[in-house]
A and B are shown apart, each in its own frame.
Chain A
Amino acid sequence: QKEVEQNSGPLSVPEGAIASLNCTYSDRGSQSFFWYRQYSGKSPELIMFIYSNGDKEDGRFTAQLNKASQYVSLLIRDSQPSDSATYLCAVRGYGGATNKLIFGTGTLLAVQP
């Protein structure tokens, strides 16, 4: 089992709809969770992170965390064509001398005009 799993997609949504991106992780001791956006040929850029159970909102983006289910999601409201990108979920474990992140392979989102 992969440590961080994401559906590779593509996830296709119409412009203006809500896009829902999901991520599951295997390490129950994981402490913090990050969502990065990566446009084709570019490097990942941080959207937001979450470390407490529940929802965290930032503009059109909402991250949701459920540690009991080992599940984190990203909702994008009012999706725009410019949101079309690969979304990477990253998880930080607990313990050790480093703050290593484990990345999922990403979900490709396509927002149709």
Chain B
Amino acid sequence: DVKVTQSSRYLVKRTGEKVFLECVQDMDHENMFWYRQDPGLGLRLIYFSYDVKMKEKGDIPEGYSVSREKKERFSLILESASTNQTSMYLCASSLWGDRVRETQYFGPGTRLLVL
């Protein structure tokens, strides 16, 4: 069974704080993804990584950065949290290989509230 874990289920931060969200997967997956999910907007891709130290911008990277120092761990960083970053953050991972069948598996999510 694929297991993707996220460091926190709920976080409350203040505007301007630096926020770290951690994601760990135990299936040796090459690909890892960070999404945010907001009502009416669905899941939107923030950043993804297909290898250690590699990162690619997704659809909404502004205000975020990422770090992937080890294969199993992918961190999302909010450099200076703002209220419009209040959201549910979801991490996912997938095994590189068959482009058609490759499947993303999600972690439990972190619900972030920025005051």
Contact = CB atoms under 8 A, between A and B. Distances in A.
Interface of A: 8, 31-32, 34, 36, 42-46, 49, 51, 88, 90, 92, 97-101, 103-106
A98 B109 contact: no
Interface residues of B, number: 23
Contacts, number: 54
Contacts of A8: 40
B102 A104 contact: no
Contact of B107 (A43, A49, A99): A43
A60 B50 CA distance: 34
B115 interface: no
B contact patch SS: loop
Contact of A101 (B50, B104, B108): B104
A39 to B, nearest CB: 11
**Which residue, B43, B50, B56, B101, has most C-beta atoms of chain A within 10 A?**
B43
Interface of B: 31, 40-43, 45, 48, 50, 56, 58, 90, 94, 99-109
Contacts of A92: 99-100, 102
Contacts of A90: 104
A105 B90 contact: no
